[in-house]
Amino acid sequence: MARFSEQFIQQVQQATDLVDLISQYVALKRRGREFVGLCPFHDDNHPSLNVSPAKQIFKCFVCGAGGSAFNFLMLYEKLAFPEAVRALAERANIPLPRESAPSPTERGLGKNELLKATLFAARFFRSQLQSPSGEKALEYARSRGLSDESIARFGLGYAPDAWDSLLTAARRQGVTQEQLLAAGLVSRRDSGEGCYDRFRHRLIFPILDVSGNVIAFGGRALADEERAKYLNSPETVLFDKSAQLYALNWARNEIVSSGRAVVVEGYLDALIPLQAGAGNVTATLGTALTERHARLLARYARDVVLVFDADAAGQAAAQRALETFLTQQFQVRVASVPAGKDPCDFVLAKGVAAFTKLVDEAPDALEYMWGRCQASHQAAGGNLADGRAAVEEFLRVVASSSAYGAIDAIRRGQLAQHIGHMLNIPPAELQQQMRRLSRRLPRASGPSPAVQPEGPARLAERHVLEVLLGEPELFDEAADRVGPDDFESPRLRAIAERLWRLGADGRARLEELISCEEMSAYGSLIADLAESGEKRGNAEETLRGAVADLAYRRDRKKMQLLNGKECTNDTLRAIVAGIGDPTALDPRRHPRIR
């Protein structure tokens, strides 16, 4: 991939507001001069991601992720550094340098190449929906309650009833078969020769990521004989259905502002409420809710309301989802639509106000599960053994929630009183049973510290860099006495080498350092050094001490090499300070010196 000049990278860096960028992926709240949010790079239950607008760096002090805007995009979108620069340049409407365009031999099937294919496909499907061949698909979309305005807003399309319509159109526009194949838009023929369109005669729902990029598609069959009613794109570099939620790109802002996410099961179950004005609704993509879905939602809200279908499958899905969300320390509630309806039908029949009321009045997860527990007990005919089995299952979930801090001891006691009253079992016995179940649960290991403690020999090196990243005007004071060769840590030396080169041109500044491509591998460490230096303060005093320590260690090594022996610390300190007699180190005078 073509490389960009330092000037262009710095232009992109300066045009990118890191807070604005990260806010597209994570809900941030101001805390003093910085912003905080839940880190998207580990299972974060308490805001541990710090974003500094002044320094334009981010840092998670739990998992260690950190760096510049380029580092964030590289980590989150799995991009190489040039791809991150390109993406941020396009985001800032900065034209790419002509020489940066990749040659045909450089072109690969990276993420950007796949995005070109999915964007082309989305436009193709939209155009087909408005063509004569898409008349039936358009009629179906309207019959399900979607307005023409919504059909356009959500980018619905139509895949023609042909084996190669997309493939043929793509070739004319320079989109290759390899791009379509890697993006999951075509499939190889059984013979291995050639490909055919994956989506045929289906109403198409484009699936977008939170940044608005088309990453996949869902297709609703229009032929009654089609076995697969809904067909999604396969998993690709762009698309992982276990970590993506449909319509989150449209619902994200409302989820953040309301502090609540409403989760439904299907495309139309999300689109019809969104069309009606319930702007915080998102949907799963034909898969059970996973911990990754929970972590994704946790970036934007801690209150989640599940609105699944009223049938047995929907209720079973709600039960599984509850256990996932409870262990993530969410406030989880479950809204039950009337039997025979799904959220889409309910909104169309009763209106958005009724849907909002259903969501607002939804019982919390444990109350919902307790109701199901009671129903199971009653269905068992009051048989004590069957009733106890139902309660055992409920207590297992309660114990799991307790183990992860989702409910406290008071609430646990209240539940024990409630269940005990139903079955005429002493609450103390139920409490003991929950404690026993809790002990059986696997305990999540604590996160590794972001930065391992440095040994004494490394602290001075860290302190020099910490000060210079915050107070670049002190660079000359440090450079007069020490240089990169005085750093023993390979990682710290690499940063020092780049910083000293920048300093030679009067550019030893943090913003210059994080704009260097070779420094992208050290983004987390640079962010850690910058944050630690600011918190420590006493810049000049810290720098003088650290520089003196580095100089002392360097001169001691030189003396050891010259004499072939170790010298006493006191003697060497005196010589370094300029008050000792250098001949005191002559081994001919003191052969026993150590």
Residue 309 is part of a domain; what is its CATH number? 3.40.1360.10
Same structural domain for residues 372 and 354?
no
Higher pLDDT: 566 or 189? It is 189
The residues that bridge with 221 in the sheet, in sequence order, are 202
Predicted local distance difference test score (pLDDT) of residue 82: 86
On the question of pLDDT at 295 being above 50, the answer is: yes
Same structural domain for residues 29 and 76?
yes
* Residue 592 located in a structural domain: no
Predicted local distance difference test score (pLDDT) of residue 380: 64
Predicted local distance difference test score (pLDDT) of residue 164: 95
Predicted local distance difference test score (pLDDT) of residue 461: 92
Q: pLDDT (tens digit, 9 = 90+) per residue, 159-197?
A: 999 999 999 999 999 999 999 999 999 999 988 788 999
Same structural domain for residues 20 and 38?
yes
Same structural domain for residues 260 and 344?
yes
Percent of the chain with pLDDT over 90: 39
Predicted local distance difference test score (pLDDT) of residue 497: 92
- C-alpha 51/C-alpha 19 separation (Å) is 7
The boundaries of the domain holding residue 405 are 368-440
Predicted local distance difference test score (pLDDT) of residue 590: 36
On the question of pLDDT at 593 being above 80, the answer is: no
* Residue 241 located in a structural domain: no
On the question of pLDDT at 304 being above 80, the answer is: yes
Rounded to the nearest 5 percent, the helix, strand and coil shares of the chain are 55, 10, 35
Q: pLDDT (tens digit, 9 = 90+) per residue, 61-83?
A: 888 899 999 999 988 887 878 88
On the question of pLDDT at 444 being above 60, the answer is: no
Higher pLDDT: 393 or 153? It is 153
Provide mean pLDDT across the span 421-437: 75
Is residue 332 within 8 Å of 364, Cβ to Cβ? yes
The amino acid occupying position 29 is K
* Residue 45 located in a structural domain: yes
Same structural domain for residues 24 and 90?
yes
The amino acid occupying position 152 is A
Predicted local distance difference test score (pLDDT) of residue 24: 87
CB atoms within 10 A of CB 341: 16
Provide mean pLDDT across the span 420-432: 75
Predicted local distance difference test score (pLDDT) of residue 448: 38
Predicted local distance difference test score (pLDDT) of residue 318: 67
Predicted local distance difference test score (pLDDT) of residue 317: 67
* Residue 237 located in a structural domain: no
Taking Cα atoms as reference points, which of 158, 166, 136 lies closest to residue 202?
158
Q: What is the DSSP string of 232-297?
A: EPPP-SS--TTS--BTHHHHHHHHHHHTEEEEESSHHHHHHHHHHT-TTEEE--SS---HHHHHHH
Percent of the chain with pLDDT over 70: 79
* Residue 578 located in a structural domain: no
Work out the mean pLDDT of the chain and round it to a whole number.
82
Retrieve residue 571's tokens. Answer: 């003697």
Q: pLDDT (tens digit, 9 = 90+) per residue, 326-349?
A: 656 677 888 988 876 889 999 999
On the question of pLDDT at 459 being above 80, the answer is: yes
Is residue 186 within 8 Å of 198, Cβ to Cβ? yes
- C-alpha 477/C-alpha 462 separation (Å) is 16
Retrieve residue 393's tokens. Answer: 């299952």
Higher pLDDT: 388 or 483? It is 483
Same structural domain for residues 290 and 268?
yes
On the question of pLDDT at 524 being above 80, the answer is: yes
On the question of pLDDT at 243 being above 50, the answer is: yes
Provide mean pLDDT across the span 40-45: 84
Predicted local distance difference test score (pLDDT) of residue 452: 43
Predicted local distance difference test score (pLDDT) of residue 429: 82
Question: What is the SS3 string spanning 18-39?
Answer: HHHHHHCCCCCEEECCEEEECC
Same structural domain for residues 331 and 394?
no
On the question of pLDDT at 431 being above 50, the answer is: yes
Q: pLDDT (tens digit, 9 = 90+) per residue, 259-287?
A: 999 999 889 999 999 999 999 999 988 76
Same structural domain for residues 392 and 475?
no
Helix axes 384-403, 312-326, angle to 10 degrees: 40
Of 100, 133, 153, at which residue does a domain stop? 100
Is residue 261 within 8 Å of 301, Cβ to Cβ? yes
Highest mean pLDDT: which of 465-474, 529-538, 568-577? Answer: 465-474
Spatial neighbors of 558 by CB under 8 A, at least 6 apart, are none
On the question of pLDDT at 148 being above 90, the answer is: yes
Same structural domain for residues 86 and 19?
yes
- Assign residue 522 the CATH number of its domain: 1.10.860.10
- C-alpha 389/C-alpha 89 separation (Å) is 59
260 φ/ψ angles, rounded to the nearest 5 degrees: -135, 140
* Residue 239 located in a structural domain: no
3-state secondary structure of 380: coil
- C-alpha 168/C-alpha 197 separation (Å) is 10
On the question of pLDDT at 453 being above 50, the answer is: no
Provide mean pLDDT across the span 537-545: 87
On the question of pLDDT at 36 being above 90, the answer is: yes
Q: What is the CA radius of gyration of the chain?
A: 31
Q: pLDDT (tens digit, 9 = 90+) per residue, 489-516?
A: 888 989 999 999 998 888 888 988 988 8
Provide mean pLDDT across the span 404-416: 63
Q: pLDDT (tens digit, 9 = 90+) per residue, 101-131?
A: 443 333 446 788 899 999 999 999 999 999 9
- Assign residue 55 the CATH number of its domain: 3.90.580.10
On the question of pLDDT at 232 being above 70, the answer is: yes
Predicted local distance difference test score (pLDDT) of residue 153: 97
* Residue 594 located in a structural domain: no
- Assign residue 209 the CATH number of its domain: 3.90.980.10
Going 373 to 374 to 377 to 378, the CA torsion angle's sign is negative
- The tally of domains found in the chain comes to 5
Predicted local distance difference test score (pLDDT) of residue 422: 61
Min mean pLDDT across 130-134, 237-241, 286-290, 499-503 is at 286-290
Predicted local distance difference test score (pLDDT) of residue 378: 72
Retrieve residue 345's tokens. Answer: 């039908």
Same structural domain for residues 269 and 307?
yes
What are the C-alpha distances in Å from 401 to residues 154, 265, 300, 362?
Answer: 37, 24, 21, 19
Is residue 298 within 8 Å of 41, Cβ to Cβ? no
On the question of pLDDT at 387 being above 70, the answer is: no
Of 181, 206, 232, at which residue does a domain stop? 232
Taking Cα atoms as reference points, which of 308, 298, 297 lies closest to residue 337?
308
Higher pLDDT: 268 or 424? It is 268
Of 382, 414, 440, at which residue does a domain stop? 440
The CA dihedral of 419, 424, 426, 429, to the nearest 10 degrees, is: -70
